[in-house]
């Protein structure tokens, strides 16, 4: 409980500090952020839709990291999910429109999961660290995005580098035509509950956490850490891919160069600050969703809005590490 | 010559990182260190008019980034991947914010003083790279310091037992890694691009990490790996100029693709420092 309170206070301080350092009046800046994030129904809806990809990718990162697999390729997996969704949309919509949404979501989960599983396999069998392979995959997927929206998936007029727009009937339901809130937000929350149940209540989740904490222990107890870690990567990537297709079906309806907004990157600190716990990730995704939604209000007055969020995240992660680690180092002083 | 120029940015960072990893520290924050150094190299060169001061500033900023990481990694024994990732975010966010605040988002071209070149596109920093490859090889394998440093990455307890300080050796390894990646960032801004752009390092820090693995943690192997990547990097312009009938995105991906394929084929091998990435003193029970 104390740790949660500390994290909240720390995050608040990180925001204020960053605002001051970059010469934004903190009272005015915070006011603008709060107004942009929760001032009216538009703000609240914006917070919810920004938090959605952060939550899904954050859950993906959580599963991977809890199994000891540093998946930092969430961005590439998110984009691959979106691209796969767009490709499947092109194939399935003319054939069976009723199945389109579900097959878009499922295929994005599978394709991104396979990509991440490859990275997992590389670490387990070939000793190539996930950190490096998933990052390299990010760059490859981004180039693939740039190519597909100019090549095979380009809209029929071949004018702009983007895909055909999905018909509204296939998009996630919106509750109010004026705001962005879509039913995908609830998909993400349901997934969070599922991930929590899987990690905390099932034998599989227990084994996964054991593998992540002490791989050698898992190995000598014949828990098959290799398979567990590859599966963890598959699910981790799958959730990041799902985030991509949820945004595709919920927000944009078409994929272009701007599809990569850094959600997969932002989700890493979201997961860390959520304590790598699914419910913590919900809270932390909501916080950063609000910060991003509010930051849009800020950037109207100041050109520095968007990149500031990265700084705030980095300061928050380092501050969190400082408080968590300082206690432990004191308990067991260096020899 | 252009191959060497493209290779040198990744090459400098990877050369330093091979020293760092030999001492047992994996510096995931290479990318953040490089971009931060690029920015400050550009600022210093712009305000002083001297590219040399810019390069010095880049090295200094790199070392500072290294000390920041060292505080968390060595003193607090925090996870190296987490700290490095935070530093990457910090570098990207900080430079983006500062750049936008100072120069706006218009993407105007700055006339940054560039490093003077001589002969067929050579410059001093490029030559220094070749010299440093030799010096680092000698220092790692022919001196007592190098032996102790390598031991700190293999079995730090033994280093402690023979009277060296593993944490000090790791601090030195991390400093070399950070200083050279800072230099790489500075050279990218002042020697190659003659400008700064947000995220201009474009993942070269991560490519450098891959090249250390591919080069088997040996300065000369890492040098060869970097030249290969530099070749792939320069190939994209050459092939595009010849109008080869492949999408341009393919050529941009070439270095990353090559790095990934090389890792898949070569694997990690058995030369990896045994205590790489592990905190010292080790956590009880791990």
**Can you list the alpha helix ranges (DSSP code H) found in chain B?**
2-22, 30-48, 51-70, 80-103, 124-142, 144-154, 156-161, 166-187, 204-214, 219-241, 248-266
CB–CB contact A313 B89 (8 Å): yes
Identify the domain containing residue B126 by its residue range. 2-266
| Highest mean predicted confidence (pLDDT) among A12-21, A179-188, B114-123, B261-270 | A179-188
Concatenated DSSP letters for A122-188? HHHHH---HHHHHHHHHHHHHHHHHHHTTTTT--TT--SSBPPPPPGGGSPPBSSTTS--BTHHHHH
Residues A161 and A150 sit within 8 Å (Cβ to Cβ): yes
Alpha carbon B88 to chain centroid, angstroms = 12
CA–CA distance, B276 with B278 (Å, rounded to integer): 6
Mean pLDDT, rounded, of chain B: 84
Residue A97 confidence class, pLDDT cut points 50, 70, 90: confident
Q: Which residues of A touch B76 (CB under 8 A)?
A: 321-322, 325-326, 329
Q: Which residues of A touch B90 (CB under 8 A)?
A: 310-311, 314-315, 318
What pLDDT shows up at residue B108? 56
Interface of A with B in 315-334 (CB under 8 A): 315, 317-318, 321-322, 325-326, 328-329, 332, 334
- CB burial of residue A114 (10 Å; 0-12, 13-18, 19+): middle
Alpha carbon B190 to chain centroid, angstroms = 16
Rg (CA), chain B: 19
Mean pLDDT, rounded, of chain A: 84
Domains with residue ranges and CATH for chain A = 2-331 (1.10.3470)
The count of residues in chain B is 286
Compute the count of residue pairs across chains A and B with CB atoms less than 8 Å apart: 142
- Within 8 A by CB and 6+ apart from A311, the residues are A18, A22, B89, B90, B93, B94, B97
- Interface check for A200 against chain B (CB to CB < 8 A): the answer is no
Give me the number of domains chain B comprises. Answer: 1
Domain membership flag for residue B144 = yes
Q: Provide mean pLDDT across the span A263-280.
A: 89
The answer, yes or no, to whether the previous bond of A262 is cis (omega within 30 of 0) is no
Residue pLDDT, tens place only, B145-161: 889 888 888 888 888 88
Q: How far is A304 from chain B (nearest CA, A)?
A: 5
CB atoms under 10 Å from CB of A272, counted, come to 25
What pLDDT shows up at residue A333? 47
Predicted ipTM of the assembly: 0.84
Q: Is the pLDDT of residue A238 over 90?
A: yes
Optimal mutation site among B10, B97, B170, interface A, most CBs of chain A within 10 A = B97
Phi/psi of residue B208, nearest 5 degrees: -60, -40
Residue pLDDT, tens place only, B70-90: 999 888 888 888 899 899 989
CA angle at residue B232 from B227 to B237, to 5 degrees? 125
Q: Provide mean pLDDT across the span B202-211.
A: 86
Q: HSE on the CB side for B262, CA within 13 Å?
A: 25
Residue pLDDT, tens place only, A21-38: 777 777 877 887 888 788
Q: Which residues of B touch A139 (CB under 8 A)?
A: 202-203, 253, 256
CB atoms under 10 Å from CB of B237, counted, come to 12
Q: HSE on the CB side for A17, CA within 13 Å?
A: 13
What pLDDT shows up at residue A179? 77
CA–CA distance, B154 with B140 (Å, rounded to integer): 14
Residue A332 confidence class, pLDDT cut points 50, 70, 90: low
Domain membership flag for residue B196 = yes
Domain membership flag for residue B141 = yes
Domain membership flag for residue B286 = no
What pLDDT shows up at residue A159? 77
Closest by CA to B66, choosing from B28, B102, B40, B101, is B28
Q: Is the pLDDT of residue A335 over 60?
A: no
CB–CB contact B203 A146 (8 Å): no
CB–CB contact B104 A127 (8 Å): no
Domain membership flag for residue B63 = yes
Tell me the percentage of chain B whose pLDDT exceeds 90: 21
Optimal mutation site among B25, B86, B92, interface A, most CBs of chain A within 10 A = B86
- Interface check for A214 against chain B (CB to CB < 8 A): the answer is yes
Residue pLDDT, tens place only, B5-42: 888 889 899 999 999 999 989 898 999 999 999 999 98
Q: CA–CA distance from A291 to each of A303, A309, A321, B66, B141 (Å)?
A: 16, 7, 21, 29, 50
Q: What is the pTM of this model?
A: 0.86
CB–CB contact B101 A332 (8 Å): no
Concatenated DSSP letters for A201-236? HSHHHHHHHHHHH-HHHHHHTT--HHHHHHHHHHHH
What pLDDT shows up at residue A334? 45
CA–CA distance, A234 with A63 (Å, rounded to integer): 10
CA–CA distance, B69 with B90 (Å, rounded to integer): 12
Residues A130 and A119 sit within 8 Å (Cβ to Cβ): yes
CA–CA distance, A133 with A72 (Å, rounded to integer): 9
The count of residues in chain A is 335
Least confident of A218-227, B142-151, B260-269: B260-269
Helix axes A41-66, A225-247, angle to 10 degrees: 160
What pLDDT shows up at residue A54? 93
Question: What's the per-residue H, E or C state across B176-198?
Answer: HHHHHHHHHHHHHHHHHHCCCCC
Q: Provide mean pLDDT across the span A269-284.
A: 90
Closest Cβ opposite residue B247 in set A147, A306, A322: A147
What pLDDT shows up at residue B203? 81
CA angle at residue B147 from B142 to B149, to 5 degrees? 125
Return the SS3 of B74.
helix
CA–CA distance, B251 with B244 (Å, rounded to integer): 10
Domain membership flag for residue B68 = yes
- Is pLDDT larger for residue B185 or for residue B107? B185
CA–CA distance, A228 with A212 (Å, rounded to integer): 10
Q: How far is B20 from chain A (nearest CA, A)?
A: 16
Residue with tokens 């389109």: A100
CB–CB contact B83 A321 (8 Å): yes
Q: Provide mean pLDDT across the span B127-134.
A: 88
Q: Which residues of A touch B252 (CB under 8 A)?
A: 143
Return the SS3 of A41.
helix
Residue A329 confidence class, pLDDT cut points 50, 70, 90: low
What pLDDT shows up at residue A236? 96
Least confident of A303-307, B26-30, B50-54, B62-66: A303-307
What pLDDT shows up at residue B269? 67
Domain membership flag for residue B41 = yes
List the structure tokens of A239. Answer: 């959730």
Q: What is the CATH number of the domain that holds B241?
A: 1.10.3470.10
CA–CA distance, B182 with B205 (Å, rounded to integer): 11
Concatenated DSSP letters for A66-123? HTT-----HHHHHHHHHHHHHHHHHHHHHH-GGGHHHHHHHHHHHHHHHHHHHHHHHH
List the structure tokens of A31. Answer: 């006011």
Q: Provide mean pLDDT across the span A57-63.
A: 95
Residue A273 confidence class, pLDDT cut points 50, 70, 90: confident
- Within 8 A by CB and 6+ apart from A325, the residues are B72, B76, B77, B78
Domain membership flag for residue B278 = no
């Amino acid at each position: 409980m104390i740790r949660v309170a500390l994290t909240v206070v720390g995050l608040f301080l990180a925001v204020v500090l960053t605002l001051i350092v970059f010469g934004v009046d903190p009272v005015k800046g915070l006011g603008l952020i709060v107004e942009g994030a929760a001032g009216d129904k538009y703000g609240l809806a914006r917070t919810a839709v920004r938090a959605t990809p952060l939550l899904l990718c954050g859950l993906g990162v959580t599963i991977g990291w809890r199994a000891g697999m540093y998946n930092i390729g969430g961005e590439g997996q998110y984009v691959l999910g979106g691209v796969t969704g767009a490709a499947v949309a092109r194939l399935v919509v003319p054939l069976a429109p009723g199945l389109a949404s579900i097959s878009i979501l499922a295929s994005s989960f599978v394709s991104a999961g396979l990509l991440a599983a490859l990275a997992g396999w590389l670490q387990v069998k070939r000793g190539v660290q996930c950190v490096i392979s998933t990052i390299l995959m990010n760059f490859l997927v981004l180039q693939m995005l740039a190519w597909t929206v100019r090549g095979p998936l380009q809209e029929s007029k071949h004018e702009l580098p983007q895909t055909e727009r999905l018909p509204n009937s296939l998009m996630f339901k919106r509750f109010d035509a004026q705001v962005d809130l879509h039913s995908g937000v609830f998909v993400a929350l349901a997934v969070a509950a599922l991930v929590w149940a899987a990690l905390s209540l099932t034998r599989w989740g227990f084994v996964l956490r054991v593998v992540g904490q002490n791989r050698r222990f898992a190995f000598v107890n014949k828990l098959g850490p290799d398979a567990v870690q590859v599966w963890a990567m598959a699910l981790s990537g799958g959730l990041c891919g799902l985030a991509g297709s949820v945004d595709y079906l919920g927000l944009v309806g078409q994929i272009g160069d701007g599809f990569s907004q850094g959600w997969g990157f932002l989700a890493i600190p979201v997961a860390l600050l959520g304590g790598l716990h699914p419910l913590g990730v919900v809270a932390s995704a909501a916080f950063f969703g609000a910060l991003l939604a509010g930051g849009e209000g800020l950037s109207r007055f100041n050109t520095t809005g968007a990149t500031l969020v990265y700084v705030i995240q980095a300061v928050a992660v380092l501050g969190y590490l400082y408080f968590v680690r300082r206690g432990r180092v004191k308990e067991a002083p260096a020899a | 010559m252009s191959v060497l120029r493209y290779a040198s940015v990744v090459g400098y960072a990877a050369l330093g990182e091979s020293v760092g990893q030999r001492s047992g520290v994996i510096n995931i924050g290479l990318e953040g260190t490089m971009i931060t150094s690029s920015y400050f190299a550009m600022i210093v060169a712009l305000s002083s008019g001297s590219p040399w001061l810019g390069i010095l500033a880049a090295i200094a900023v790199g070392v500072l980034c290294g000390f920041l990481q060292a505080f968390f990694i060595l003193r607090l024994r925090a996870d190296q991947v987490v700290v490095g990732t935070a530093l990457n975010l910090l570098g990207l966010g900080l430079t983006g914010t500062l750049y936008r605040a100072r120069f706006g988002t218009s993407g105007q071209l700055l006339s940054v003083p560039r490093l003077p070149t001589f002969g067929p596109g050579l410059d001093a920093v490029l030559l220094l790279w070749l010299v440093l490859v030799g010096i680092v090889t000698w220092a790692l394998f022919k001196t007592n310091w190098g032996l102790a440093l390598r031991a700190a990455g293999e079995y730090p307890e033994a280093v402690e037992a023979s009277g060296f300080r593993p944490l000090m050796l790791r601090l030195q390894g991390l400093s070399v890694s950070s200083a050279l990646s800072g230099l790489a960032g500075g050279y990218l801004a002042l020697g190659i691009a003659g400008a700064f752009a947000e995220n201009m390092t474009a993942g070269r820090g991560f490519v450098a990490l891959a090249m250390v693995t591919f080069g088997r943690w040996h300065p000369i192997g890492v040098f060869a790996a970097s030249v290969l990547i530099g070749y792939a990097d320069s190939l994209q312009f050459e092939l595009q100029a010849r109008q080869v009938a492949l999408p341009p995105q393919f050529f941009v991906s070439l270095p990353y693709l090559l790095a990934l394929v090389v890792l898949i084929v070569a694997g990690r091998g058995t030369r990896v420092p045994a205590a790489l990435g592990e905190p010292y003193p080790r956590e009880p029970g791990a």
